């Protein structure tokens, strides 16, 4: 008689508290649902007419913005599948600095189209194979749509023209002013080889009050505070940068001092005062006229610095201190004392000016000859600051995000100047060509290729819906398809201002997007969607720590 092995009904594979779900219903479709929800959340913020989101983060800070990168960073998405879309969007932000929203809404739309195919019976691998074929075709066709290039003689007007579409998607109506500011700031610091353009050399300082029209570009670094002492100006000055506090050194432990008479009390601090005077005399004798303090400045130290006619500027931000060291070619010192010639920097002009009632400090390099810069270092150290004015802090924060996007777009264009038609024209043309390619294929993957083409319509459709409403979206998509069927009409896109026709030739209106930014966005969106579709099981370990919600006691009344 054969032995019978008992079958285990509840096989313990994971730790207690772990969650495991698999299959089409429990894993794939639930992942798609979560990603679609995130996509729909950000879809209404896409384009010039995108709505703002009011986000209160875990620290209670308020954000009113339509910038997708800021929204997803502050809402803290926890769903593992939706996090894949967030990571793809963050990669786009790190690589290009723009088109983060495009990544999420396109990935969400690809997953929605895939859901229909999966419910109809297609296997996820067939859908992912079709999406990868469609991506390869879309990227190759995108290269062919590049009929424009960034103008070779770089002028302020050509820079502003290239930046307007990106800035209009964040601050519609203010794109002319912002494009002019960014172009002016960038033009003053562009090195001889434009590909070496550094986005860190364009700073933003926000001063509340006034309006955006009062904003201006200041050559050099601007700090929204006055120098600490009585000396407010210096020219052709040697600079010393200190990260330590400029004050009397404090002992690590507390001590007790016994004073026996009045003379001892009067002479108690004399030694410290003489020591401080000696230190600052050495600093003044080394030729230093400007001190940048990365920490606190004591009252006694300030007294001696004023006596030796040394200007003191307090810069508490480590990032600004690092930038400043690059501008003045100085080494930050962690000890208080006279800098060596190699450690000291140089600045042409340090002055205090008034902007809208606020006193600000400006450090400016006019010529780099006396600072010991080499030619490439001199170009690398040039700095421009955009001083933004606005009525509220939320508005200023949003303007700063728009400027950052504009500077990043400019960097991408200086590296790869190819442009493609904007306003959704490129996506419609790619959809048409990928659809044609799908019709030529055989096998089940052709359905996924066609769905990929349909998903690309989400860009012009969203632009139209955010500007004119859902009912107009389908009508405008139909008009665009009929226009793109004609030869030589690749540039027709959505006109968000003309409700009668709703379409325009984006190339004639100079609405152009960066090819490389769009290429990265399509690639990252497809890779994120394919990653989500490739998941067939979700395994979540038990979270570390105690329960998130405190358990309520059954009976808390002490009198009972």
CA atoms within 13 A on the CB side of 196: 12
Question: For residues 66-104, b (16+ Cβ closer than 10 Å) or e, as one string?
Answer: bbbbbbbbbbebebebbbbbbebbbbbbebbbbbbbbbb
Evaluate if residue 560 carries a pLDDT over 50: no
Tokens coding 100: 């983060």
Residue with tokens 């600072």: 371
pLDDT band at 4 (very low <50, low <70, confident <90, very high): low
| Per-residue pLDDT at 1 | 47
Give the DSSP letter string of 130-197: HHHHHHHHHHHHHHHT--EE--SS--HHHHHHHHHHHHHTTSTT-HHHHHHHHHHHHHTT--SSGGG-
**Contact criterion met (CB below 8 Å) for 146 and 420:** yes
Q: What is the mean pLDDT of the chain?
A: 78
| Per-residue pLDDT at 270 | 67
Evaluate if residue 226 carries a pLDDT over 70: yes
| 154-216+382-416 CATH | 3.30.260.10
Distance CA 386, CA 219 (A): 9
> Per residue in 352-371, pLDDT tens?
887 777 788 888 777 544 44
**Contact criterion met (CB below 8 Å) for 492 and 425:** yes
Give the DSSP letter string of 288-333: EEEEEESS-B-HHHHHHHHHTT-EEEE---HHHHHHHHHHHT---B
Evaluate if residue 380 carries a pLDDT over 70: no
3-state helix, strand, coil in the chain (%, to 5): 50, 15, 35
Domain boundaries, given as residue ranges, for the chain: 19-147+422-534, 154-216+382-416, 221-378
pLDDT band at 251 (very low <50, low <70, confident <90, very high): low
Cα–Cα distance list, 227 to 232, 285, 362, 364, 521 (Å): 6, 21, 10, 15, 45
Distance CA 150, CA 510 (A): 12
In the 8-state DSSP scheme, what is residue 246?
B
Distance CA 546, CA 560 (A): 29
Closest CA to 421 of 145, 100, 105: 145
* Of 17-26, 284-293, 310-319, 547-556, minimum mean pLDDT range: 547-556
3-state secondary structure of 489: coil
End-to-end CA distance of the chain: 67
- Global pTM reads 0.78
* Beta carbons within 10 angstroms of residue 525's beta carbon: 28
**Contact criterion met (CB below 8 Å) for 176 and 182:** no
3-state secondary structure of 464: helix
**Contact criterion met (CB below 8 Å) for 35 and 85:** yes
> Per residue in 105-137, pLDDT tens?
998 888 888 888 888 888 888 888 888 888 888
> Per residue in 457-467, pLDDT tens?
888 888 888 87
Distance CA 527, CA 519 (A): 12
Evaluate if residue 268 carries a pLDDT over 70: no
Third-level CATH fold of 221-378: GroEL (3.50.7)
Task: Give the list of residues 6+ apart from residue 502 with CB closer than 8 angstroms, or none.
Answer: 464, 468, 472, 475, 476, 479, 494, 495
Distance CA 85, CA 364 (A): 43
Q: Which residue has the higher pLDDT, 321 or 264?
A: 321
Span 493-514, average pLDDT: 75
Evaluate if residue 253 carries a pLDDT over 70: no
Top CATH class of 19-147+422-534 equals mainly alpha
Span 429-455, average pLDDT: 85
Evaluate if residue 100 carries a pLDDT over 80: yes
The percentage of residues in the chain with a pLDDT greater than 70, rounded to a whole number, is 82
Tokens coding 385: 């600051």
| Per-residue pLDDT at 500 | 67
Question: For residues 369-386, b (16+ Cβ closer than 10 Å) or e, as one string?
Answer: eebebeeeebbbbbbbbb
> Per residue in 323-341, pLDDT tens?
888 888 888 888 787 888 8
> Per residue in 29-60, pLDDT tens?
888 888 888 888 888 888 788 888 888 888 88
pLDDT band at 381 (very low <50, low <70, confident <90, very high): low
């Amino acid at each position: 008689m054969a032995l019978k092995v008992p079958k285990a009904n509840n096989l313990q594979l994971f730790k207690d508290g772990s969650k495991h779900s698999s299959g089409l219903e429990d894993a794939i479709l639930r992942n798609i649902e979560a990603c679609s929800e995130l996509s729909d959340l950000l879809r209404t913020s896409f384009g010039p007419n995108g709505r703002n989101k009011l986000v209160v983060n875990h620290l209670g800070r308020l954000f009113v913005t339509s910038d997708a990168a800021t929204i997803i960073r502050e809402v803290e998405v926890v769903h593992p599948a939706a996090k894949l879309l967030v990571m793809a969007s963050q990669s786009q932000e790190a690589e290009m600095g723009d088109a983060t929203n495009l990544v999420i809404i396109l990935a969400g739309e690809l997953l929605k189209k895939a859901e229909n195919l999966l419910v109809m019976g297609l296997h996820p691998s067939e859908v992912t194979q079709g999406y990868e074929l469609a991506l390869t075709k879309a990227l190759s066709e995108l290269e062919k749509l590049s009929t424009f290039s960034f103008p070779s003689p770089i002028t302020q007007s050509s820079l502003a023209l290239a930046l307007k579409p990106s800035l209009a998607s964040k601050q519609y109506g203010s794109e002319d002013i912002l494009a002019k500011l960014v172009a002016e700031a960038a033009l003053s610091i562009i090195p001889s080889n434009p590909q070496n353009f550094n986005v860190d050399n364009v700073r933003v300082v926000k001063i509340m009050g006034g309006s955006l029209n009062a904003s201006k570009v200041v050559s050099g670094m601007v700090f929204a505070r006055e120098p600490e002492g009585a000396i407010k100006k210096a020219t052709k000055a040697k600079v010393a940068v200190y990260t330590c506090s400029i004050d009397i050194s404090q002992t690590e432990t507390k001590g007790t001092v016994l004073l026996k008479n009045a003379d001892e009390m009067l002479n108690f601090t004399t030694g410290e005062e003489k020591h401080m005077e000696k230190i600052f005399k050495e600093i003044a004798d080394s030729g230093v006229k400007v001190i940048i303090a990365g920490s606190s400045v004591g009252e006694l130290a300030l007294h001696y610095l004023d006596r030796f006619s040394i200007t003191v500027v307090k810069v508490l931000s480590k990032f600004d201190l690092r930038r400043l060291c690059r501008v003045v070619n100085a080494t930050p010192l962690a000890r208080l004392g006279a800098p060596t010639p190699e450690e000291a920097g140089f600045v042409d002009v340090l002055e205090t000016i008034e902007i809208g009632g606020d006193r600000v400090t400006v450090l400016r390099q006019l010529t780099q000859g006396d600072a010991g810069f080499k030619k490439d270092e001199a170009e690398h150290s040039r700095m421009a600051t955009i001083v933004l004015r606005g009525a509220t802090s939320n508005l200023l924060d949003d303007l700063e995000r728009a400027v950052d996007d504009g500077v990043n777009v400019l960097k991408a264009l200086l590296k790869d100047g190819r442009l493609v038609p904007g306003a959704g024209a490129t996506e419609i043309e790619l959809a048409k060509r990928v659809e044609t390619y799908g019709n030529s294929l055989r096998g089940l993957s052709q359905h996924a290729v066609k769905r990929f083409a349909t998903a690309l319509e989400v860009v012009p459709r969203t632009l139209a819906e955010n500007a004119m409403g859902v009912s107009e979206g389908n009508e405008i998509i139909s008009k665009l398809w009929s226009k793109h069927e004609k030869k030589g009409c690749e540039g027709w896109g959505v006109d968000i201002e003309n409700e009668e026709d709703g379409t325009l030739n984006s190339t004639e209106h100079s609405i152009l997007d960066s090819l490389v930014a769009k290429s990265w966005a399509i690639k990252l969106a497809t890779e994120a969607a394919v990653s989500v579709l490739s998941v067939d099981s979700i395994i979540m370990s038990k979270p570390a720590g105690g329960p998130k919600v405190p358990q309520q006691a059954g009976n808390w009344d002490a009198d009972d």
